[in-house]
Structure 1
Amino acid sequence: MTSKQRMRLALATATAGALGLALAPASPASAKAPAAECPRVLACDWVPAAYQQTGDPADKESYGNYDLSDRPDTNRVKYIVLHDTEETYATTLKIFQDPARAASAHYVVRSADGHVTQMVKTKDVAWQAGNWYLNSDSIGIEQEGYATAGATWFTPAMYRSTAALVRYLAAKYDIPLDRRHILGHDNVPPTTAGGTPAMHWDPGPYWDWDHFMSLLGRPAEPTGRPGSQLVTVAPEFRRNLQAFRDCEKNTDLPAQPSSAVPLYTQPSTAAPLFADPGLHPPGQAGTNCAGDWGSKISADQQAVVAERRPGWTGIWWYGQVAWFQTPAHTRTAVATAGYVVRPKPGLTDVPVYGTAYPSATDYPSDFTAPRVSVPLGYTIKAGQSYPGGDPTPTGYYYAPTIDSSYPYDHTYFPGSTRFLTVQIGHRIAFVKASDVEVVRVR
């Protein structure tokens, strides 16, 4: 580190310390090559992702493929995001080593034998979720495979290795082992309403969530009274045969085991599929495209019952009622005890957010790049309830360049507004605690 760099770091540290802010290291140059952060049962190796500039050296914002941080001292790790690579294991490693690709994950899991490679330290922020807030507070795990061919690639060895890794990370960072914290990439919300169509949908409908959650020691089991307002979706993967369509390739996929259960606008298979209002204009039906997650609910996701009909259950979903089949003498869903959020008395519409950033007044007056949460296109209306109520970290990690040339660079700004996580639809979201009440149901 040059004397100029040391001076910049000292200035940044002093400024951040005076404001009660957390500052990450300015440079990895002196960092010793780490051992992989893994449970002993896994023989993980370490292959570092690229952290270097991609253009003019004077342009400090042109770099890849992750950001330095010092989590959890800067900001908490509260989520784990599971992906599939849509590439081979070897190609994925090459992509994350190429700074021009501007992408990374903390870990990559090989399909054939479940071998785990770590590429980004868990204290640092990988560029993996497509939502900077979730990036800042999550660990990303890429699994070798292709979403529309999941059954071919998602091997027993992969399930076991990923589960062992998730258990280890969840214990290390105190992450709840539920589907609002152990996420698929398809469960990550956009940061703005306009960003919804660009969000990813991996690992897709053929990832066996029920089996995976069982490996974590959290299988879908009845915990509530019969007729509970809260249910956990729990189809038997092998018998839940679904025929979706690969709309990106214009190909019908064969009927095969799936974690996904179709959602309809009415309690009838002749009714239109439910349409995520963030993906489809008003009046347009949802589709059976594998990537159209508004028209599906996945195994081990929870929902609040709005209405019941013989053989059908209606749930609150993206501000409306969506229906899925629950035939008698089957176990498509189980009664669950847990917490739900609903608008406080007197509120008719509660905004939903894709981030939990500070308010504008939480930032220093001389900070020129504050980021605040903006509402998504969904609201929680009076009379509706959604699973959740778990506090989520409120803050913004500012890291626009490869060094700390600006006093606030690589700084975490905590927020004073308290946000809670909710399962608004297939993707999680956040609400302000001041807007809702959290109620336990049995």
Structure 2
Amino acid sequence: MTSKHRSRLAVASVAAGALSMTLLAPATQAGADPVRPECPRVLACDWVPAAYQQTGDPADKETYGNYDTADRPRSHKIRYIVLHDTEVDFDTTLKIFQNPLKQTSAHYVVRSADGHVTQMVKNKDVAWQAGNWYVNSHSIGIEQEGVAVDGATWYTPEMYRSTAELVRYLAARYDIPLDRQHIIGHDGVPPTSASGTRNMHWDPGPYWDWNRFMALLGEPTVPTAPRRSELITVSPDFKRNKQAFRDCEKGVDLPVQASSAVPLHTAPSKDAPLFSDPGLHPDGSPGTNCAADWGSKISATQQAVVADRVPGWTAIWWYGQKAWLRTPAHIRTTTPTSGYVVRPKEGRAEVPVYGVAYPEKSEYPADFADQRVGSPLPYTIKTGQSYPGGGEAPTGYFHAPTIDSSYPYDHTYFRGREKYVTVQVGHRIAFVKASDVDIVRAR
């Protein structure tokens, strides 16, 4: 769960090669009238509206909570689904989302005990859930009752089933691919800038069974390519993949338990340091076994491109470098996979990576002050490297700084001409300019 970064957005649309804008209807007190939940018929969902109201001086339209009204997907695409955990119980979560002073929300909340689903924000609207305004603008957020460090205590069969039914329904409705570049955890959401990397969340954490969940979506991990394919899907058996992590926020070791996570090392040895995410460890210090240190581990059902192999170990391209994971011959840890990979165009030594896909500054109206553009993250894709992905990411910025859309350009979506694609550059997805890369079928 996370509060919204107070950087509201707008997105534009291109017509005849020029930037166009979608102006949305005036904001209303959304949720004031009875609403039929947007859910599959097999789930008995209910509707409990999140707060949408002024919280300060009525003259200050920027002080409000807990989401932004929009008109998705007419105004802009819904391209991603983000899975969270609540870190508090179900009832407390509903109360938080109903309190406009908390400035946080999600579209749905799933209860642990029985998988009951409550919708709190309409899918057309933008919930404040991901900690990345671009992702907020183009995603639906699902909170699951649970505490990440407590492992499978909260993640029940009922929760897996309900969340999977809901995700399948939403993916079909909004044409969202059922893969791990589009169905992501909060731990898969990129920061908007290099400086924000260490503030990103890491739920639902290493104890969410991604193999089980993707199988429930109808996308189990099975071989779809020759054994030596360069593209692999990480696929350890959850119950047998016992891992020891540490809750570094509380300074305690967590019990050894089943996990979706596989540790990554800097060399093919268990004694080699853990991989150090340059965004989390800008001083170059080694990675850690902290549950929150996402750069030192890869999750089941995430894909990667093989960089090297030695007996018992496989190296993958990971945040611009080689990272090694154990792949014993007698234990299935990876699965050969067909699909597409992204690599720098010929002649490019390296390609910048972004956490957003915003328009270029020149594409905004001259009298529009918030001409937001992306800044590169502390990662690059270098010559000789490839990463999974290639699906087009919507290029746009949704500008919604106030509760009242009567102001110029307020609740406006600006779409740019530059095309971006989504890549699995590490544990988190990211975006690269399509003009910088080639998208090719994996060998």
Please, what TM-score do these two structures have when normalized by structure 2? 0.95
Partner of 2:307: 306
- Could you tell me how far 1:370 is from its partner in structure 2? 1.0
- Could you tell me how far 1:361 is from its partner in structure 2? 1.4
- Could you tell me how far 1:19 is from its partner in structure 2? 7.0
Does the 8 Å CA contact 2:29/2:53 hold for their aligned counterparts? no
Following the alignment from structure 1 to structure 2, what is the Cα–Cα distance between the partners of residues 283 and 152?
A: 35
1:36 partnered with 2:37: yes
1:211 partnered with 2:212: yes
- Could you tell me how far 1:274 is from its partner in structure 2? 0.3
Give unpaired runs (5+ residues) of structure 2.
1-14
Does the 8 Å CA contact 2:19/2:414 hold for their aligned counterparts? no
Partner of 1:200: 201
Report 1:240-251 matches (<5 A): 240-251=241-252
Following the alignment from structure 1 to structure 2, what is the Cα–Cα distance between the partners of residues 36 and 200?
A: 28
Following the alignment from structure 2 to structure 1, what is the Cα–Cα distance between the partners of residues 391 and 29?
A: 38
- Counterpart of 1:225, as a letter, is P
Partner of 1:79: 80
- Counterpart of 1:21, as a letter, is M
Q: Which whole-Å deviations, capped at 9, do the CAs of 1:186-244 have from their partners, x for residues lacking one?
A: 00000000000000000000000000000000011111111000000000000000010
1:134 partnered with 2:142: no
- Could you tell me how far 1:107 is from its partner in structure 2? 0.2
- Could you tell me how far 1:97 is from its partner in structure 2? 0.3
Report 1:82-161 matches (<5 A): 82-161=83-162
- Counterpart of 2:20, as a letter, is G
Following the alignment from structure 1 to structure 2, what is the Cα–Cα distance between the partners of residues 307 and 24?
A: 50
Higher share in helix? 1
Partner of 2:396: 395
Over the aligned positions, Cα root-mean-square deviation in angstroms equals 1.3
Give unpaired runs (5+ residues) of structure 1.
1-15
- Counterpart of 2:61, as a letter, is K
Following the alignment from structure 1 to structure 2, what is the Cα–Cα distance between the partners of residues 150 and 84?
A: 11
- Could you tell me how far 1:266 is from its partner in structure 2? 0.3
Following the alignment from structure 1 to structure 2, what is the Cα–Cα distance between the partners of residues 20 and 349?
A: 32
Following the alignment from structure 1 to structure 2, what is the Cα–Cα distance between the partners of residues 406 and 19?
A: 20
- Alignment length (residue pairs): 426
Partner of 2:56: 55
Partner of 1:25: 25
- Extract structure 1 runs of 4+ deviating beyond 6 A: none
- Counterpart of 2:94, as a letter, is L
- Counterpart of 1:119, as a letter, is M
- Counterpart of 1:416, as a letter, is R
Percentage identity across paired residues of the two chains: 71
Does the 8 Å CA contact 1:240/1:259 hold for their aligned counterparts? yes
- Counterpart of 2:163, as a letter, is T
Higher RCO (C-alpha under 8 Å, 6+ residues apart):
2
Partner of 2:9: none
Partner of 2:4: none
- Could you tell me how far 1:407 is from its partner in structure 2? 1.8
Following the alignment from structure 1 to structure 2, what is the Cα–Cα distance between the partners of residues 368 and 79?
A: 28
SS of 1:195 mapped into structure 2: helix
Partner of 1:65: 66
- Counterpart of 1:22, as a letter, is T
- Could you tell me how far 1:440 is from its partner in structure 2? 0.1
Q: Which whole-Å deviations, capped at 9, do the CAs of 1:246-285 have from their partners, x for residues lacking one?
A: 0011010011000000000000000000010000034310
Following the alignment from structure 1 to structure 2, what is the Cα–Cα distance between the partners of residues 395 and 104?
A: 22
- Counterpart of 2:72, as a letter, is R
Does the 8 Å CA contact 1:23/1:69 hold for their aligned counterparts? no
Does the 8 Å CA contact 2:313/2:325 hold for their aligned counterparts? yes
Does the 8 Å CA contact 1:44/1:116 hold for their aligned counterparts? yes
SS of 1:261 mapped into structure 2: strand
Does the 8 Å CA contact 2:85/2:144 hold for their aligned counterparts? yes
Q: Which whole-Å deviations, capped at 9, do the CAs of 1:112-164 have from their partners, x for residues lacking one?
A: 00000000000000000000000000000000000001210000000000000
Following the alignment from structure 1 to structure 2, what is the Cα–Cα distance between the partners of residues 417 and 283?
A: 33
